[in-house]
């Protein structure tokens, strides 16, 4: 069975500071990994995905994530956050690219 653990339920940071949102997964087979963002009262939007190849994945809005197979992690990073990045972020894993298992989410709050 697959599972996803997002280690922080809330992450407060100051504007223009760097941020890392942590994600660990468990799976007995090869995986596809995703980060989605959810702004208030909206659906989920894909930030980035890892399917294969380079372990450093770049996404939209200046976010990137690194796939670390030995540590079963897929942490999300941004070097300088903006107020508009305030949202809930979900890490997700799939072994078939059809069914996706989501983590419980990390609420990112940006302080001016």
Partner 1 sequence: EAGVAQSPRYKIIEKRQSVAFWCNPISGHATLYWYQQILGQGPKLLIQFQNNGVVDDSQLPKDRFSAERLKGVDSTLKIQPAKLEDSAVYLCASRNFRQSHEQYFGPGTRLTVT
Binding site for partner 1 (CB under 8 A): 4, 9, 32, 36, 41-46, 49, 51, 90, 92, 94, 97-100, 102-105
Q: Which residue is listed with tokens 């208030």?
A: 40
Q: For residues 17 and 51, which CB has a smaller minimum distance to partner 1 in the complex?
A: 51
Q: For residues 15 and 64, which CB has a smaller minimum distance to partner 1 in the complex?
A: 64
Q: Tell me how far apart the alpha carbons of residues 13 and 109 are, in angstroms, rounded to a whole number.
A: 6
Q: For residues 19 and 91, which CB has a smaller minimum distance to partner 1 in the complex?
A: 91
- Alpha carbon of 91 to those of 15, 104, 111: distances in Å? 22, 8, 23
């Amino acid at each position: 069975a697959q599972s996803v653990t997002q280690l922080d339920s809330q992450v407060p940071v100051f504007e223009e500071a760097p941020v890392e949102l942590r994600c660990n997964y468990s799976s007995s087979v090869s995986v596809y990994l995703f980060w989605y963002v959810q702004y208030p009262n909206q659906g989920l939007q894909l930030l980035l995905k890892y399917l294969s190849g380079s372990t450093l994945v770049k996404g939209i809005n200046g976010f990137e994530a690194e796939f670390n197979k030995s540590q079963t992690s897929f942490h999300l990073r941004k070097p300088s956050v903006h107020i508009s990045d305030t949202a809930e972020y979900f890490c997700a894993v799939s072994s078939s690219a059809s069914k996706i298992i989501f983590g419980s989410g990390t609420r990112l709050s940006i302080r001016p």
